[in-house]
A and B are shown apart, each in its own frame.
Chain A
Amino acid sequence: MTGVPALVAHGIEAGYEPGLPIVKGASVTVGRGEIVVLLGPNGAGKSTLMKAIAGLVPIARGTVTLAGAEITQTAAHRMVRLGLAFVPQTENVFTTMSVEENLVLAGHVAPASVRAARLAAMLELFPDLARQRGLAAGRLSGGQRQMLAVARALMIEPHVLMLDEPSAGLSPKLVRDVFAKLVEIRASGVTILMVEQNARAALAIADRAYILADGRNRHEGSAAALAADPDIAEHYLGLGGADASVVGRSAP
């Protein structure tokens, strides 16, 4: 990690009602070009932290900086213009719109001259979506829907891509597919921060990881070190191997 980090969230306190923080002073730093995963038990506040960074949940305390510029109180709809893309955990595509409309809508923040090329690039990166481009997104399979959500986020050519459980509800094969795509995306220069329950599979592609519990940082370290720590493995990673892919929940 050299130079100014791509994304820093420092001492974040955030929640849905005033005076009732869910995230209680969590901090996350993502260096340029890194893949960082956020792990932790259900209800730890991982999604709330992601939403707070993306501007969807009000931040009571702490700061967020994107490539050195403070964006703490920036409205959510301006974040994409600054190069921060977010894929929420649930309801992350417009189900009543076609695949293509989802992509076109998201690509609108880009200059008109490059929109068509971006759409073509996304359809090339995700051949499944190209075949279904006219279909209402609500009729896609869980895996295709997740691909669409990622493709939609990439339409803005983000500097930082935030993903909340991109593999939730996917079969082991699709988990591998999605993660392989993420590695490809990172190779193209995008910085990635993601929340995952498929901890082992996520650590396998990540550089570093944070473990969040009850709204606070519990552990952090390189992905390899955390994966090798028996104590952490027992408490947070489940006991299966990378491919056991214990998927705790079904798709939304």
Chain B
Amino acid sequence: MSLQFLADGLFAGALIGLGAVGLTLTYSILRFSNFTHGDFISWGAYLALGTVGALTGWIGPAARFMPFSFGWPLIVGGLLAMALTGLLALLLDAALFKPLRRTGHGIVMVIASFGASLALRAMLEFLFTSEPAYFSRAIQIAIPVGLGIRVTPDQAAMMGLALVVVIAMHLLLTRTHIGRSMRAVSENPALARVVGIDVAAVIRATWLIGGALACVSGIMLGLTVQIRPQMGFDLLLPLFAAAILGGIGSVWGAIIGGLIVGVAEAGAVQLIGSEYRSAVAFVLLIAMLLVRPRGLFGVREG
């Protein structure tokens, strides 16, 4: 049996993991399951498509970094798109979630986010149609790395990026004031206020960071498959599975959960066929909730 599924699974898993990091942060600080997170991923990809298009339209086509399929416009455009996706999340919070937070219960927020998710997806379809779009049509040659595994240069770059992002998130949460404040609000919002933390500011930071991370996974997804309006929504189940597997609130847990889900999905595709792919995340999710609801690295009941 070929070990290729390992490489494909780890790549998909890194992408799922990055999305799950944002999801786990918003969940632990805002205390509701945010269904729009998948749509932030789609919006992130489209926003990057837009910023890259605008940059190349403005300055002209740029050479790509061989052997990768992309050049500096994707880097600069990606950073811009991360900021824009963060702003989109902030905007949605100000318009929808903030008013509900005052009165609403968790379930009201979940349902509101479900509605917002439909609306965000419909807007993408309206703006960009459901025709697939691409960052680049350049064909990537997969390079053999041993054991019969082949990896494209883009995949390798994205894995590296995912690692950098997770380490950055880890440092943010453990070494900076805003990161410690986020952990404080997630554990005990009342005590956080008592020690002088402006909870509203922490919530804004959380949306910004969650949106930006969703954008990164959107770009990763866009580089490997086609960009379509429902691509992020389709990822929702694996995202939740990864976040719960790793333990709500745990950044490393979300990434490791993502890798487990990614590899399990790829393995299942190879062993029993692609029809069962989406069942894998579901089975993992349910199994974890039954066996260990707080997840691998969680501190609280999920």
* Partner of B191 from A55, A81, A91, A104 at Cβ < 8 Å: A91
Find out whether the CB atom of B193 lies under 8 angstroms from the CB atom of A97: no
Q: With an 8 A cutoff between CB atoms, is B85 at the interface?
A: no
- Taken together as a complex, chains A and B put the C-alpha atoms of A81 and B188 apart, in Å, by 20
Find out whether the CB atom of B183 lies under 8 angstroms from the CB atom of A97: yes
Find out whether the CB atom of A105 lies under 8 angstroms from the CB atom of B177: yes
* Partner of A156 from B177, B190, B196, B197 at Cβ < 8 Å: B196
Q: How would residues 48 to 71 of chain A score, 1 for a CB under 8 Å from any chain B CB and 0 otherwise? A: 000000111000000000000000
Find out whether the CB atom of B183 lies under 8 angstroms from the CB atom of A108: no
Q: With an 8 A cutoff between CB atoms, is B42 at the interface?
A: no
Q: With an 8 A cutoff between CB atoms, is A171 at the interface?
A: no
Q: With an 8 A cutoff between CB atoms, is B181 at the interface?
A: yes
Find out whether the CB atom of B183 lies under 8 angstroms from the CB atom of A96: yes
Which of B177, B195, B196 has the most chain A CB atoms inside 10 A of its CB? Answer: B195
Chain A: how many interface residues by the 8 Å CB criterion?
27
- Taken together as a complex, chains A and B put the C-alpha atoms of A104 and B195 apart, in Å, by 10
* Partner of A81 from B177, B193, B194, B196 at Cβ < 8 Å: B196
Residue of A nearest to B178 (CB): A108
Interface residues of A in 92-108 (CB under 8 A from B): 92-97, 101, 104-106, 108
B interface, over-half SS: helix
- Taken together as a complex, chains A and B put the C-alpha atoms of A56 and B198 apart, in Å, by 13
Q: With an 8 A cutoff between CB atoms, is A88 at the interface?
A: yes
Which of A55, A78, A86, A108 has the most chain B CB atoms inside 10 A of its CB? Answer: A108
Given contacts A56-B190, A94-B191, A96-B299, contact A106 B196 (CB under 8 A): yes
Which of B180, B191, B192, B194 has the most chain A CB atoms inside 10 A of its CB? Answer: B194
Interface residues of A in 75-95 (CB under 8 A from B): 75-81, 86, 88, 91-95
**Which residues of the other chain, B, contact A55 by a CB distance below 8 angstroms?**
193
- Taken together as a complex, chains A and B put the C-alpha atoms of A95 and B186 apart, in Å, by 12
Find out whether the CB atom of A152 lies under 8 angstroms from the CB atom of B183: no
- Taken together as a complex, chains A and B put the C-alpha atoms of A90 and B190 apart, in Å, by 11
Find out whether the CB atom of A95 lies under 8 angstroms from the CB atom of B177: no
Given contacts A105-B181, A108-B177, contact A94 B194 (CB under 8 A): no
**Which residues of the other chain, A, contact B93 by a CB distance below 8 angstroms?**
none
* Partner of A105 from B184, B190, B193, B198 at Cβ < 8 Å: B184
Q: With an 8 A cutoff between CB atoms, is B154 at the interface?
A: no
Q: How would residues 194 to 219 of chain B score, 1 for a CB under 8 Å from any chain A CB and 0 otherwise? A: 11111100000000000000000000
Q: With an 8 A cutoff between CB atoms, is B187 at the interface?
A: yes
A196 to chain B, nearest CB (A): 19
Given contacts A77-B199, A94-B188, A96-B299, contact A101 B194 (CB under 8 A): no
Q: With an 8 A cutoff between CB atoms, is A109 at the interface?
A: yes
A111 to chain B, nearest CB (A): 13
B172 to chain A, nearest CB (A): 14
Find out whether the CB atom of A80 lies under 8 angstroms from the CB atom of B183: no
- Taken together as a complex, chains A and B put the C-alpha atoms of A78 and B194 apart, in Å, by 9
Find out whether the CB atom of B188 lies under 8 angstroms from the CB atom of A91: yes
* Partner of B193 from A76, A94, A109, A152 at Cβ < 8 Å: A76
Find out whether the CB atom of A101 lies under 8 angstroms from the CB atom of B180: yes
Residue of A nearest to B300 (CB): A96
- Taken together as a complex, chains A and B put the C-alpha atoms of A95 and B184 apart, in Å, by 9
B192 to chain A, nearest CB (A): 8
**Which residues of the other chain, B, contact A54 by a CB distance below 8 angstroms?**
194
Find out whether the CB atom of B193 lies under 8 angstroms from the CB atom of A75: yes
Residue of B nearest to A101 (CB): B180
- Taken together as a complex, chains A and B put the C-alpha atoms of A96 and B181 apart, in Å, by 12
Find out whether the CB atom of B193 lies under 8 angstroms from the CB atom of A56: yes
Enumerate the 10 nearest inter-chain pairs by beta-carbon distance, A residue then B residue, closest first: A76-B193, A80-B196, A109-B196, A106-B195, A77-B193, A105-B180, A77-B198, A77-B196, A108-B177, A86-B194
Extra 11 A-B pairs, beta carbons < 8 Å, given A80-B195, A93-B191, A94-B184: A75-B193, A76-B194, A81-B196, A88-B191, A94-B187, A96-B187, A101-B180, A105-B177, A105-B180, A108-B177, A152-B195
Q: Offer 28 A-B interface pairs, CB within 8 angstroms, sorted by A.
A: A56-B193, A75-B193, A76-B193, A76-B194, A77-B192, A77-B197, A77-B198, A79-B194, A80-B194, A80-B195, A88-B191, A88-B194, A91-B188, A93-B191, A94-B183, A94-B184, A94-B187, A94-B188, A95-B187, A96-B183, A97-B180, A97-B184, A105-B177, A105-B180, A105-B184, A105-B195, A109-B196, A152-B195
